């Protein structure tokens, strides 16, 4: 291995690492020890306490500092001779363009989210730079190699889609704790503390729609003459009492279901509602020290609070928001690193769970569900980083034929804990690396250009700087240096129905959508269609040729997978750029569905059922989400697989 | 849940891994005592992993002075023209590891590995030795086995791009979850001496060639009274000769131990850092499993060769 050729390939290489988190720390260390001399590293994150158990280049005193910069300094301490260039920045920033990528011999990803991975994949394709991709979850991990024209690109295979729930499951008929979490986080928390202009389905639909909508408009407003306790009581009684009562009036709903129980303040807090005492004022205004648990002297986040305790936490958290964080109200979104938000959501979800006779959960568990926190350990990251370096060296020596994708398994498959598989060839119908046209079914008389941009171009095609043309005419573009009149023109176009645009989009039209930064061009054939099924096709348009996760189609639990999402689901996903490296953009993080079509629980890593991909060995599902995804395991003795294994 | 609760600080620090193995496992980890001897790159990777995981204590043993070669393979020791100012490998690693996780007690035990008696090992739950002679492996393993409590014993070695882990958990009983029920599993491990004494022809057919190759090199070093890793390309003819003798004695085809594989193990005895990271990671996971009682432990050898990229478990025992 330590041949002369190998040493010179390493020494002459200029390497770009994207991500300085769990995998990144291990990778930077192993690259340095292996003799790499010129390493660039991009990470927009700062260091958090929960990183310290595995991101070993960081210490308590580094909390709040740039990961990329601290990682560089830490590695230079034992290897001062080498060059490490840190960028405390988002890899999607426009200065990391194709020319930037072209200077590197290989790009190594240690990312945590689909969005950034897709972006880097496209830039690597455009710059023709090999990419080594990786991901871990608990004891599972994988490393894949993507070389333009020779192996499949990162987007050749379907990726797990965010799990979504039908609106009515969340608003009216929750059956699992996660439904209560989604309700507490995306509806109640968003309604009380988020943007007031957002659509919100918090109020249950009643037979008598008129009264409930009348009633709901002002109920969440904090009235001027009302003290916080009164306000909190009113909210509590409304969402846990009145709303459930209203839901109960829809008798059809409860024919085959257990009826929920309305809960009112008077039912749970027999004594005086908790007094606002001096404790609150003593705490300083630093966000992390503001805690309802501390206020109520609850210590163990592993404890499961009873209904009464949850109610007390609910009131305490709500009051702390209104008394101490008044200025945040109206622009908060749920953040798992905001302890008060986690407490509020835990309490609200548990009270709702109590109504519906769903088992209550601890704050620790609720936080994991609400924050999509993914299991992460140092050992798997170390193993995966070692495998990345081994593949990177093969790539640098032009030994493409010897490159492997490797799965790190929890239970041995045919004696293997580390299982190498030959890389797959590019998917000829991949719209990213094969430029295959897409087909969009849409009602061209009803859908606006804005719908096309938001529902297709941004969220499905993952473009951040899109430009849409019809023939030689520009319909829309995003950029910093646009003329004012063009901006106005595009803004006007956004609100126009497709068939009424200056250059009308109708059935048979071919539009071109491109992202200048990613240098990705897609042609989309437009097919006009009148009707769409509201539950199954909530976008009101259907894109073919793009490879979504088979979540909606294949799940056994059809009631959970009608594709409808709660209001904030689809909006929130693309906003997550490079979160804490153990976060996913999945809406719940509870379940992801491997491409084989079988569901597996993330929480079940200790005893995973290995789904078998019967169809073809070539399609071993890959979900290289760093620290956030399920890796599909191969059944022991699967004959198809053995053919491709070395 | 039993025993005392984790502190707030522990819960915050270990949040992500508690989500993998649970609070009980974390509590057991924090009460465990680990001994590591032979601090080259692979052992250092392992130390990093278990210090981060939050074991109770880690005791380091390696009196060797810091050399340029040791420095090159060790990310724990800050670069220093004075070669660590005369400190031993164990002392310098200890300083860095303490810094990784203030909740773990890291200390140094001076002395030659062979000088430690049976009672010495009683303090530990886990003993890991690396880069040591065949005789030392056998003897430390036997000492661990003489104790009334179970001390989990591991060896880990990395030569060039190949690596081997050996595990002896003696009699190990653990709970295994199967879909809905929990079944009790029992594993019986042989000692290192017992395992390598098993006639090669009675081992399963397609066993990893690396197993045999490592035995040849280990035996060669013992016969020639070399230190572990004290071997070079000049020794290759004699190593091949020994291979032939052993194959004859065991009625094994010489093709089971290819010349090319032995050549790789002899030419470069330096650890290849990516392989060290992989072995240190696998070993870390195994030790965490054994301490926590969670998960199927490896029985009883693990091999990795970066040329084919396979990480293989081999059960080399009579039972």
- Give, rounded to a whole angstrom, the gap between the first and last alpha carbons of chain B: 35
Q: Under an 8 A CB cutoff, do B11 and A302 touch?
A: yes
DSSP A251-300: GGGGTTSPPP----HHHH--SPPPP--HHHHHS-S-GGG--HHHHHT---
Asked if pLDDT for residue A590 goes beyond 50, the answer is: no
Helix (H) or strand (E) holding B209: helix B209-223
Nearest residue of B to residue A140, measured between CA atoms: B20
pLDDT of residue A311: 94
A135-178 pLDDT, tens digit each: 998 889 999 999 999 999 999 987 766 667 777 888 888 999 99
Q: Is residue B205 part of a domain?
A: yes
Q: Under an 8 A CB cutoff, do A417 and B75 touch?
A: no
* β-strands B57-61, B33-37 pairing: parallel
Q: Are residues B209 and B304 in the same domain?
A: no
Task: Tell me whether residue A508 is annotated as binding.
Answer: no
Q: Under an 8 A CB cutoff, do A379 and B281 touch?
A: yes
CA distance A366 to B145: 44
Q: How many domains does chain A have?
A: 3
Nearest residue of A to residue B84, measured between CA atoms: A78
A25, A168, A180, A522: which is the annotated catalytic residue?
A: A168
Asked if pLDDT for residue A436 goes beyond 90, the answer is: no
Nearest residue of B to residue A299, measured between CA atoms: B8
Which token pair is A468?
């849409």
Q: Which residues of A touch B277 (CB under 8 A)?
A: 26, 29-30, 382-383, 385-386, 389
Q: What count of CB pairs under 8 Å joins A to B?
A: 193
Q: Are residues A393 and A468 in the same domain?
A: no
Asked if pLDDT for residue A305 goes beyond 70, the answer is: yes
Q: Are residues A182 and A69 in the same domain?
A: no
CA distance A45 to A88: 7
Nearest-by-Cβ selection for B78 from A49, A78, A378: A78
Q: Which residues of A touch B23 (CB under 8 A)?
A: 302
pLDDT of residue B4: 63
**Is the distance from CB of A452 to CB of A493 less than 8 angstroms?**
no
Mapping DSSP to helix (H, G, I), strand (E, B) and coil, where does residue B191 land? coil
* Long-range contacts formed by A292-296: CB under 8 A, 24+ apart: A292/A316, A292/A317, A292/A320, A292/A340, A292/A343, A292/A344, A292/A347, A293/A339, A293/A343, A293/A363, A295/A320
CA distance B125 to B128: 10
Nearest residue of A to residue B309, measured between CA atoms: A420
Mean of all residue pLDDT scores within chain B? 91
* Final residue in a domain of this structure, among B267, B291, B306: B267
* Angle subtended at Cα B113 by Cα B108 and Cα B118, rounded to the nearest 5 degrees: 100
Q: Is residue A364 part of a domain?
A: no
Residue B99 main-chain phi, psi, to 5 deg: -70, -30
Q: Is residue B80 part of a domain?
A: yes
Residue B218's alpha-carbon distances to A103, A567, B224, B225, in angstroms, are 45, 65, 10, 10
Residue whose entry in the numeric block shows the structure tokens 């060839």: A425
* Beta bridge partners of residue B164, listed in sequence order: B157, B303
What is the pLDDT confidence band of residue B84, given thresholds at 50, 70 and 90? low
Q: Is residue B221 part of a domain?
A: yes
Q: Is residue A365 part of a domain?
A: no
Q: Under an 8 A CB cutoff, do A378 and B49 touch?
A: yes
DSSP A176-199: SHHHHHHIIIIIIIHHHHS-TTS-
Q: Is residue A381 part of a domain?
A: yes
Q: Are residues B98 and B35 in the same domain?
A: yes
Task: Tell me whether residue A498 is annotated as binding.
Answer: no
Q: Are residues A379 and A477 in the same domain?
A: no
Q: Are residues B61 and B170 in the same domain?
A: yes
Asked if pLDDT for residue A33 goes beyond 60, the answer is: yes
Q: Are residues A129 and A220 in the same domain?
A: no
Q: Is residue B302 part of a domain?
A: yes
Residue A177's alpha-carbon distances to A345, A358, A565, in angstroms, are 12, 6, 17
* Final residue in a domain of this structure, among A544, A569, A597: A544
Q: How confident is the model over A195-215, as a mean pLDDT?
A: 58
Q: Are residues A329 and A193 in the same domain?
A: yes
A463-476 pLDDT, tens digit each: 888 999 988 888 99
Nearest-by-Cβ selection for A30 from B100, B274, B302: B274
Mapping DSSP to helix (H, G, I), strand (E, B) and coil, where does residue A641 land? helix
Which token pair is A538?
């909530």
Q: Report the CATH number that the domain containing residue B45 is assigned in CATH.
A: 3.40.50.720
- Give, rounded to a whole angstrom, the gap between the first and last alpha carbons of chain A: 18
Residue A59 Cα, gap to closest chain B Cα (Å): 7
Mapping DSSP to helix (H, G, I), strand (E, B) and coil, where does residue A73 land? helix
Q: How many domains does chain B have?
A: 2
Q: What is the largest CA-CA distance in chain B?
A: 62
Task: Tell me whether residue A51 is annotated as binding.
Answer: yes
Q: Are residues A386 and A308 in the same domain?
A: no
Residues 135-154 of A with CB under 8 A from B: 138-139
Q: Report the CATH number that the domain containing residue A212 is assigned in CATH.
A: 1.10.10.520
Q: Are residues B15 and B100 in the same domain?
A: yes
pLDDT of residue B33: 97
Q: Are residues A401 and A456 in the same domain?
A: no
Q: Are residues A242 and A316 in the same domain?
A: yes
Q: How confident is the model over A41-53, as a mean pLDDT?
A: 89
Nearest-by-Cβ selection for B309 from A59, A368, A406: A406
* Final residue in a domain of this structure, among A357, A385, A404: A357
**A620: preceding bond cis by omega (within 30 degrees):** no
Q: Under an 8 A CB cutoff, do B273 and A412 touch?
A: no
* Angle subtended at Cα B284 by Cα B281 and Cα B288, rounded to the nearest 5 degrees: 140
Q: How confident is the model over A359-370, as a mean pLDDT?
A: 92
What is the pLDDT confidence band of residue B23, given thresholds at 50, 70 and 90? confident
Q: Are residues B242 and B115 in the same domain?
A: no
Interface test with B, best of A28, A33, A372, A388 (most B CBs within 10 A): A33
Which token pair is A467?
């430009």
Nearest-by-Cβ selection for A417 from B16, B52, B282: B282
Residue A528's alpha-carbon distances to A88, A443, A460, A475, in angstroms, are 45, 5, 19, 19
Q: Between B68 and A181, whose confidence is greater?
A: A181
Asked if pLDDT for residue A30 goes beyond 90, the answer is: yes
Question: Which one, of B137, B168, B131, lies nearest residue B153 by Cα?
Answer: B168
Q: Under an 8 A CB cutoff, do B20 and A49 touch?
A: no
Residue B268 Cα, gap to closest chain A Cα (Å): 8
Asked if pLDDT for residue A606 goes beyond 70, the answer is: no
Q: How confident is the model over A530-556, as a mean pLDDT?
A: 66
Nearest residue of B to residue A580, measured between CA atoms: B16
Residues 320-359 of A with CB under 8 A from B: none
CA distance B218 to B226: 10
Q: Are residues A447 and A419 in the same domain?
A: no
Q: Are residues A421 and A461 in the same domain?
A: no
Residue A63 Cα, gap to closest chain B Cα (Å): 12
Q: Is residue B3 part of a domain?
A: no
Any idea what DSSP says for residue A589? -
Asked if pLDDT for residue A213 goes beyond 50, the answer is: no
Q: Between A213 and B197, whose confidence is greater?
A: B197
Mean of all residue pLDDT scores within chain A? 78
Q: Range with the lowest mean pLDDT among A147-161, B157-171, B239-253?
A: A147-161
Task: Tell me whether residue A43 is annotated as binding.
Answer: yes
Is this complex's ipTM strictly greater than 0.90?
yes
pLDDT of residue A114: 86
**Is the distance from CB of A444 to CB of A499 less than 8 angstroms?**
yes
A302 touches chain B (CB under 8 A): yes
Q: Is residue B319 part of a domain?
A: no
Q: Which residues of A touch B25 (CB under 8 A)?
A: none
Residue B303 Cα, gap to closest chain A Cα (Å): 9
Q: How confident is the model over B7-22, as a mean pLDDT?
A: 81
Q: Between B135 and A283, whose confidence is greater?
A: B135
Q: Are residues B52 and B108 in the same domain?
A: yes
* Beta bridge partners of residue B36, listed in sequence order: B60, B128
Q: Are residues A7 and A149 in the same domain?
A: yes
**Is the distance from CB of B80 to CB of B92 less than 8 angstroms?**
no
Question: Which one, of B64, B294, B42, B62, lies nearest residue B155 by Cα?
Answer: B42
pLDDT of residue A578: 28
Residue B144's alpha-carbon distances to A464, A606, B122, in angstroms, are 60, 29, 8
Q: How confident is the model over A110-117, as a mean pLDDT?
A: 88
Domain limits for position A459: 437-544
Q: Are residues A472 and A408 in the same domain?
A: no
Asked if pLDDT for residue B273 goes beyond 70, the answer is: yes
Q: Which residues of B touch A376 (CB under 8 A)?
A: 16-17, 19-20
Q: Between A549 and A459, whose confidence is greater?
A: A459
Q: Are residues B179 and B232 in the same domain?
A: no
Q: Which residues of B touch A300 (CB under 8 A)?
A: 5
CA distance A23 to A627: 9
Q: Between B296 and B69, whose confidence is greater?
A: B296
Residue A265 Cα, gap to closest chain B Cα (Å): 31
Q: A388 Cβ partners below 8 Å, 6+ apart?
A: A23, A27, A30, A108, A110, A132, A134, A143
Q: Which residues of A touch B312 (CB under 8 A)?
A: 415-417
Rg (CA), chain B: 20
Q: Are residues B228 and B95 in the same domain?
A: no
pLDDT of residue A28: 97
**Is the distance from CB of B274 to CB of A28 less than 8 angstroms?**
no
Q: Is residue B2 part of a domain?
A: no
Nearest residue of A to residue B24, measured between CA atoms: A302
CA distance A526 to A518: 23
Mapping DSSP to helix (H, G, I), strand (E, B) and coil, where does residue A527 land? strand
Q: Between A163 and B177, whose confidence is greater?
A: B177
A410 touches chain B (CB under 8 A): yes
Q: Is residue A362 part of a domain?
A: no
Q: Under an 8 A CB cutoff, do A386 and B275 touch?
A: yes
Q: Which residues of B touch A7 (CB under 8 A)?
A: none
Q: Report the CATH number that the domain containing residue A136 is assigned in CATH.
A: 3.40.50.720
Q: Range with the lowest mean pLDDT among A180-184, A460-464, B168-172?
A: A460-464
* Angle subtended at Cα A505 by Cα A502 and Cα A511, rounded to the nearest 5 degrees: 105
pLDDT of residue A547: 60
CA distance A448 to A458: 15
A264 touches chain B (CB under 8 A): no
pLDDT of residue B81: 67
Q: Are residues B144 and B211 in the same domain?
A: no
Q: Are residues B117 and B254 in the same domain?
A: no
Q: Which residues of B touch A385 (CB under 8 A)?
A: 274, 277
Q: Under an 8 A CB cutoff, do B288 and A300 touch?
A: no
CA distance A291 to A314: 11
Residue A192's alpha-carbon distances to A93, A180, A186, A189, A338, in angstroms, are 33, 16, 10, 5, 16
Q: Under an 8 A CB cutoff, do A418 and B311 touch?
A: yes
Q: Range with the lowest mean pLDDT among A141-155, A220-234, B128-142?
A: A220-234
* Final residue in a domain of this structure, among A496, A517, A544: A544
Q: Between A80 and A284, whose confidence is greater?
A: A80
pLDDT of residue A564: 31
Q: Is residue A489 part of a domain?
A: yes
Q: Under an 8 A CB cutoff, do B20 and A32 touch?
A: no
Domain limits for position B250: 198-267
Q: Are residues B227 and B300 in the same domain?
A: no
A168 is known as an active-site residue: yes
Q: Under an 8 A CB cutoff, do B272 and A376 touch?
A: no
**Is the distance from CB of A65 to CB of A41 less than 8 angstroms?**
no
Q: Are residues B209 and B175 in the same domain?
A: no
Nearest residue of A to residue B20, measured between CA atoms: A375
Q: Under an 8 A CB cutoff, do B79 and A420 touch?
A: no
CA distance B132 to B144: 16
pLDDT of residue A272: 54
Q: Under an 8 A CB cutoff, do B8 and A299 touch?
A: yes
Residue A470 main-chain phi, psi, to 5 deg: -125, 110
**Is the distance from CB of B20 to CB of A368 less than 8 angstroms?**
no
Asked if pLDDT for residue B12 goes beyond 90, the answer is: no
Any idea what DSSP says for residue A558? G
pLDDT of residue A223: 80
Q: Under an 8 A CB cutoff, do A377 and B17 touch?
A: yes
Nearest-by-Cβ selection for A80 from B18, B54, B79: B79
Q: Which residues of B touch A600 (CB under 8 A)?
A: none
Percent of chain A with pLDDT over 90: 44
Q: Report the CATH number that the domain containing residue A461 is assigned in CATH.
A: 3.10.290.20
Q: Under an 8 A CB cutoff, do B278 and A646 touch?
A: no
Interface test with B, best of A55, A300, A386 (most B CBs within 10 A): A386
Asked if pLDDT for residue A634 goes beyond 80, the answer is: no
Q: How confident is the model over A520-530, as a mean pLDDT?
A: 90
Percent of chain B with pLDDT over 70: 97
Asked if pLDDT for residue A6 goes beyond 50, the answer is: yes
Residue whose entry in the numeric block shows the structure tokens 């303040």: A265
Nearest-by-Cβ selection for B77 from A78, A382, A607: A78
Nearest residue of A to residue B278, measured between CA atoms: A383
Instruction: Count Cβ atoms within 10 A of the Cβ of residue B295 and give its class: 0-12 exposed, 13-18 middle, 19 or more buried.
Output: buried
């Amino acid at each position: 291995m330590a041949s002369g050729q190998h040493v010179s390939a390493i020494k002459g290489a200029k390497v770009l690492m994207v991500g300085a988190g769990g995998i990144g720390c291990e990778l930077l260390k192993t690259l340095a020890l292996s003799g790499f001399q010129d390493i660039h590293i991009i990470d927009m994150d700062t260091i958090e306490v929960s990183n310290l158990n595995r991101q070993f280049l960081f210490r308590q005193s580094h909390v709040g500092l740039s990961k990329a910069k601290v990682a560089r300094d830490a590695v230079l301490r034992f290897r001062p001779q080498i060059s490490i260039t840190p960028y405390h920045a988002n890899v999607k920033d426009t200065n990391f363009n194709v020319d930037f990528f072209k200077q590197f011999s290989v790009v190594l990803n240690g990312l945590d989210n689909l969005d950034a991975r897709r972006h880097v994949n496209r830039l690597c394709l455009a710059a023709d730079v090999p990419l080594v991709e990786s991901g871990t979850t608990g004891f599972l991990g994988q490393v894949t190699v993507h070389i333009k024209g020779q192996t499949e690109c990162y987007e050749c295979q379907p990726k797990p889609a965010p799990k979504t729930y039908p609106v009515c499951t969340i608003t009216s008929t929750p059956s699992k704790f996660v439904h209560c979490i989604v309700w507490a986080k995306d509806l109640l928390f968003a309604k009380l503390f988020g943007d007031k202009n957002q659509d919100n389905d918090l109020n249950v639909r009643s037979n008598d729609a008129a009264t409930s909508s009348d009633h709901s408009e002002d109920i969440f407003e904090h009235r001027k003459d009302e003290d916080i306790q009164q306000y909190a009581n009113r909210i509590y009684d409304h969402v846990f009492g009145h709303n459930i009562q209203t839901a109960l009036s829809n008798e059809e709903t409860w024919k085959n279901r257990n009826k929920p129980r309305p809960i009112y303040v008077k039912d749970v807090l027999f004594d005086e509602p908790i007094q606002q005492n001096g404790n609150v004022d003593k705490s300083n205004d630093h966000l992390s020290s503001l805690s309802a648990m501390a206020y109520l002297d609850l210590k163990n986040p592993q404890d499961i609070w009873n209904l009464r305790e949850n109610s007390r936490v609910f009131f305490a958290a709500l009051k702390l928001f209104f008394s101490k964080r008044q200025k945040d109200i109206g622009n908060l979104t749920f953040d798992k690193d905001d302890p008060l938000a986690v407490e509020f959501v835990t309490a609200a979800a548990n009270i709702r769970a109590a109504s519906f006779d769903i088992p209550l959960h601890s704050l620790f568990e609720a936080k994991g569900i609400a924050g999509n926190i993914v299991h992460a350990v140092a050992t798997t990251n170390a193993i995966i980083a070692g495998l990345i370096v081994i593949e990177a060296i093969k790539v640098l020596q032009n030994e493409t034929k010897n490159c492997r994708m490797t799965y790190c398994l929890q239970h041995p498959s045919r004696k293997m804990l580390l299982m190498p598989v030959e890389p797959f060839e590019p998917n000829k119908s991949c719209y990213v690396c094969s430029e295959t046209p897409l087909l969009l079914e849409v009602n061209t008389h009803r859908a606006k250009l804005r719908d096309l941009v938001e529902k297709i171009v941004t969220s499905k095609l993952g473009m951040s700087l899109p430009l849409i043309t019809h023939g030689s005419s520009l319909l829309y573009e995003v950029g910093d240096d646009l003329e004012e009149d063009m901006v106005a023109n595009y803004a006007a176009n956004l609100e126009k129905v497709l068939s009424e645009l200056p250059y009308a989009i109708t059935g048979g039209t071919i539009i071109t959508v491109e992202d200048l930064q990613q240098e990705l061009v897609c042609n989309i054939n437009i097919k006009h269609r009148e009707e769409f099924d509201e539950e199954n096709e909530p976008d009101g348009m259907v894109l073919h040729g793009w490879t979504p996760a088979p979540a909606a189609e294949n799940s056994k639990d059809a009631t959970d997978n009608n594709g409808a999402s709660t209001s904030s689901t689809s909006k929130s996903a693309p906003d997550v750029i490079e979160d804490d490296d153990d976060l996913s953009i999945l809406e719940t993080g509870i379940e992801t569905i491997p491409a084989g079509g079988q569901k597996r629980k993330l929480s079940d890593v200790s005893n995973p059922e290995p789904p078998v991909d019967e169809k073809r060995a070539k399609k071993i599902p890959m979900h290289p989400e760093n620290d956030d995804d399920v890796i599909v395991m191969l059944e022991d003795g699967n004959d198809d697989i053995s053919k491709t294994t070395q | 849940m039993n025993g005392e609760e984790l502190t707030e600080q522990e819960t915050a620090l270990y949040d992500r891994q508690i989500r993998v193995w649970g609070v009980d496992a974390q509590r057991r980890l924090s009460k465990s005592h680990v001994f590591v001897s032979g601090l080259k790159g692979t052992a250092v990777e392992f130390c990093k992993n278990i210090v981060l995981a939050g074991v109770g204590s880690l005791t380091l043993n390696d009196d060797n002075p810091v050399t340029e070669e040791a420095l090159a393979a060790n990310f724990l020791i800050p670069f220093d023209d004075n070669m660590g100012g005369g400190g031993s490998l164990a002392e310098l690693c200890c300083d860095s590891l303490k810094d990784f996780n203030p909740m773990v007690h890291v200390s140094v035990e001076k002395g030659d590995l062979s000088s430690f008696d049976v009672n010495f090992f009683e303090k530990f739950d886990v003993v890991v030795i690396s880069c040591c002679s065949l005789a030392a492996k056998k003897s430390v393993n036997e000492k661990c086995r003489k104790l009334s409590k179970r001390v989990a014993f591991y060896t880990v070695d990395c030569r060039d791009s190949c690596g081997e882990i050996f595990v002896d958990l003696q009699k190990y009983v653990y709970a295994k979850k199967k879909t809905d029920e929990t079944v009790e599993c029992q594993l019986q491990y042989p000692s290192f001496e017992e395992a390598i004494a098993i006639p090669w022809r009675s081992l399963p057919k397609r066993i990893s060639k690396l197993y045999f190759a490592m035995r040849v090199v280990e035996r060669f070093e013992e016969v020639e009274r070399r230190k572990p890793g004290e071997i070079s390309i000049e020794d290759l003819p004699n190593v091949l000769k020994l291979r032939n003798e052993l194959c004859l004695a065991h009625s094994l085809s010489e093709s089971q131990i290819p010349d090319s594989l032995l050549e790789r193990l002899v030419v470069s005895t330096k650890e290849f850092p990516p392989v060290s990271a992989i072995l240190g990671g696998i070993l870390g996971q195994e030790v965490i499993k054994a301490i926590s009682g969670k998960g199927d432990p490896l029985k009883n050898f693990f091999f990795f060769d970066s040329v084919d990229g396979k990480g293989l478990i081999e059960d080399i025992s009579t039972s």
